[in-house]
Amino acid sequence: MFLNPADKSFRAFLFDLDGTVVDTIDLIRESFRHASREVLGRQLPDEVLMANVGQPLMEQMEKLGAKKAGQLYDTYRRYNHAHHDELIRSYPGVEDLLKELGMRGVRLGIVTSKSRDTVKMAFHSIPVEPYFDTVVAADDTDFHKPHPQPLMLAMRRLDAALDETVYIGDSPFDIKAGQAAGIATAGVGWGIFPPQRLKELEPDFYFEKPDEILSLCPVRNV
Ligand SMILES: [Mg+2]
């Protein structure tokens, strides 16, 4: 159900990283294709390879080829690290959005299923880390999206209440995690998953462009 953004103003904005804040779509796709070819001896369709992006990498590999998950994981990471800086991209408008949200005085966080070492690599290439008050990576919690634990940790760190927090992401796991945490959710249309996959989960909001997110944080005339 899409709420009218004008009805609500949020004070804590939590973002997914891959496919939401940084464009790692080519990087992830090429890493999967490589691992699939090298380890399984064939290239699985992209829809299969990318079906569980947004969950921790080892879990994704277990779903692709349980017996060879360890080998898939290592091969993926070797390729991913070797090609990281050449394939990662920024999304036009995202840095301006983060800057503007910061100026409007809200708290910002990242909640990602990426491991902390690859989060560091992403921030090295796309230097947006200073905009965020906290970063929750896969290493920080026992459970991962769609479990709400990583979001609850981010809210604790930001001292943010449920009803003033929104989680913004490109994956069905992001929407499910936000719903499980009891906070507002927003799907974005510039990431890895097709709009239909997000909309069928009925996020509270859906955005086609980064600057539309500012509607959740109107400038107050005080
Ligand atoms: Mg994502």
Percentage, residues of the chain above pLDDT 90? 91
Instruction: Tell whether the model's pLDDT for residue 91 goes beyond 60.
Output: yes
Instruction: Tell whether the model's pLDDT for residue 6 goes beyond 60.
Output: no
At 4 the pLDDT is 63
The mean pLDDT value of the chain amounts to: 94
Distance from residue 188's CA to the centre of ligand 1 (Å): 9
Pick the closest to residue 6 from 161, 207, 217 (CA basis).
Answer: 217
Distance from residue 155's CA to the centre of ligand 1 (Å): 19
Residues spanned by CATH 3.40.50.1000 within the chain?
5-24+89-216
Distance from residue 222's CA to the centre of ligand 1 (Å): 36
Residue 40: is it exposed, middle or buried by C-beta count within 10 angstroms (0-12/13-18/19+)? middle
The CATH architecture that domain 5-24+89-216 belongs to is 3-Layer(aba) Sandwich (3.40)
Task: For residue range 132-185, list pLDDT tens digits in order.
Answer: 999 999 999 999 999 999 999 999 999 999 999 999 999 999 999 999 999 999
What value does the mean pLDDT take over residues 106-126? 96
Residues lining ion ligand 1 (Cβ < 5 A) are 16, 18-19, 54, 170-171
33-to-42, 51, 173 alpha-carbon distances in Å: 9, 13, 22
74 noted as active-site residue: no
Catalytic residue among 16, 18, 23, 170: 16
What value does the mean pLDDT take over residues 116-132? 97
Give the CB-side neighbour count of residue 101, counting CA atoms within 13 A: 31
**What is the residue type of 32?**
F
At 5 the pLDDT is 59
Give the 3-state secondary structure of residue 217: coil
Q: Which of 1.10.8, 3.40.50, 1.20.1250, 1.10.150 would CATH assign to domain 25-87? A: 1.10.150
What value does the mean pLDDT take over residues 7-12? 85
Residues spanned by CATH 1.10.150 within the chain?
25-87
Distance from residue 174's CA to the centre of ligand 1 (Å): 7
Give the 3-state secondary structure of residue 112: coil
Distance from residue 24's CA to the centre of ligand 1 (Å): 9
Task: For residue range 58-82, list pLDDT tens digits in order.
Answer: 999 999 988 999 999 999 999 999 9
- pTM of the shown model: 0.92
What value does the mean pLDDT take over residues 185-196? 95
